[in-house]
Each structure stands twice: as structure tokens, then as C-alpha cells.
Structure 1
Amino acid sequence: MRRIARPLSGTALAVAVAAAALAAAPAYGGEGSGRLELSPAGVVPGDEVTARTAACGANGTAAGDASAVGAGSFSLAPGSGQPPLSGRFKVPPSAHPGTYEIVATCAHGGRRVTGDLVVTLTGTLTEQSTYPRGSVKTGVGGALGPGPEQTAAGVAALAVAAAGGTWLLHRRARGDGI
């Protein structure tokens, strides 16, 4: 029994050490991480995305390129008390669904880090959207206007026309003539 107990305790110790090492690692990948973290990683057109990386060092800067999705360039700089560099860009409303590679290049050393951004048409914007207002110009026309005053005027005109038509039909049925 002793022979079996020793190898198991050694394996348990190795697993515990590995778990402690993983728990101590920073969530963003630490100094020299080769990834560009995008938050949120899945967006809809019109959303704003935050990009973070620790690949350029705590005091470095980087130039971001989101032109693959149509957002153009953006800059990454150290945040207040935050080790990773961060920057923001807005996904244009004209962006098509798909996966896009977003790139950041460190100012010192030219190191290139990438991250994947997924654009979908389903979901919700992280910011308040603006809804269209007014009427649609279809060329067909319409009796009611877009505002409450014009709607009331249209309803009143229809009521007068209906009353006048009823009065004329009543006179005709009585034989008074028109």
C-alpha cells in the first residue's frame, strides 16, 4: 500500500502546483502577451469595442487598425493604474456580419498583436440607439400627416366628408334632388 500512496501524493502535489501557477497568471495574459483582447468580442453594427493588450509593456503605446471592419485606425495607451494598453473604436453601422481581424502594432519594437471581432446582425447595441422619426416618402401619398395636429385635421376632414355624403344620400332618397 505504501508504494501506491507515494506516487499518488506526488501527482496530487504536481497538480496543485500547476493549478496555483495558473491562478496566479493575470487574466489579460501578462507582460508580453501576444493577444489583442476585444471587449465585447461579439458585436452588432454601431457598437463600440474596447481593445486591450499587454504586449507593448506597461508604459508603451500602440497603433490599432480596425479597417478590416471599416472602423479605421485607433490608438492604445496605458490606462490609469492599469498595466494593459487600451483603446476604443466604433464598428460602423454599415459593417457586414463576419469575423474580422483587428491588429495593434507596438510603437517601440513594432510587435504586432491580433484579435478576432465577430459582427452579427442579431443582438443588442451596448449603447442607446436612435430610432427613425417622421413619415416615409413612398410617392403613394396619404391622408394623414406625421404629426398629431395633421392627424387631427385629417380625421376632421374625413368626418365632414362622411357627414356631407350621408346628408346628400338622405336628400336623394327623399326625392328632394341634389
Structure 2
Amino acid sequence: MRSLPLTFCAVMAAGTIALPASAALADSKADDSRDEKRSGTVSVSPSRVSPGKEVELRTDACGKGRSARGNSEAFDTEARFEYDGGKELVAVARISDDAAPDEYEVWVTCKDGHGKATGMFTVVHHSRPSPVAPVRAGGGGTAVLAEGAADEGPGTPHTVIGLGLGAVAAVAVAFRTVRRRRPARH
């Protein structure tokens, strides 16, 4: 009867560690099926952009085609691709002022209909810049953050490590609780 709390903690720890891994595997399989249908790629520069800013789009999906059209839910208007003299078509698109922070997909269709491509970019909202410690003398509140520094956070490796440490802590607490409940033997 006393092993029930220990068993419960062990099952919870295993579930906590296994759930993110299975979700990541399922997501990668979904991405693979989309990749098979594409005939080219769209590069978006910069890949992280604020509402109201512009991005440059490049694609090699149209081969010898001289024009294409691109769209995204975050764009103000449709992007019109033109030949850049090399192997790619280039366009500039403006991000809508009311675009929500999220990842967005770009769809490109070649004028002749023979090529299609997709790409991804992220819309981020930058709050008012704040100083980064240590602030140089006289900088006060005028210090500016490095580009994208405000939006960086823990990534997947940090999350997995945190979950693992949390599971170890839960098991340690369970062992300690079980040991305290045992009656002293004489």
C-alpha cells in the first residue's frame, strides 16, 4: 500500500518526459508529408520581423520563369516576384500592422503554373527597448537591446533538461516521503 505514491510519481515522471518527445515526432512526420509536395523553397529575410516592416522573399521554384505571385496571411498585399538576373525570383512584402505574433507560411505560385513553393517566417512584437545590464554610465533608459534579444528564450534542449530535472526531483521527494512514513523497527 505504501508503494502506491512512489508508483504514481514514477508514472507521472515518465509521462512528463515521454509526452514532448512523442509530440515532436508526430509534428516532424506531418512536416515530411508537406515537403514531398513542394517543388521549391522560399527564403524570407529577415526570418523574424515586426508588424509594419518589410521582408525580402526569394525563390528558385520557377526555373526559367520570369514572374510569380506570393501570399501569406501576414502580408498587406500579394507579393509580386520578378527575375533578379540570376537563378531566383525576388519580391518585397510588407507585414500587416495588425499581424499577430506567430509563425506564418508564404505560398508562391509561378506564373506558368509549373512551380510552387512555401517558406516560413515569424512575426514578433517588440516592446519598448529596455536597458541591458550593465548599462554604461549616462545610458540610463536609452540603451537599446540587441536585435532579437528580447524574444530569445529557452529552447527545446532547455525544456527537455528542465523536465528531466523536475522528474528526478519528484522521484526524490517520493522516496523521502516513503522513508519518513515507515515506522521505526525496534
**Structure-1-length-normalised TM-score:** 0.46
- Rg (Cα) greater in structure: 1
Q: Which structure dedicates a bigger proportion of its chain to helix?
A: 2
With structure 2 as the length reference, what TM-score do the two structures score?
0.45
Instruction: Compare relative contact order (CA 8 Å, sep 6+) and give the higher one, 1 or 2.
Output: 2
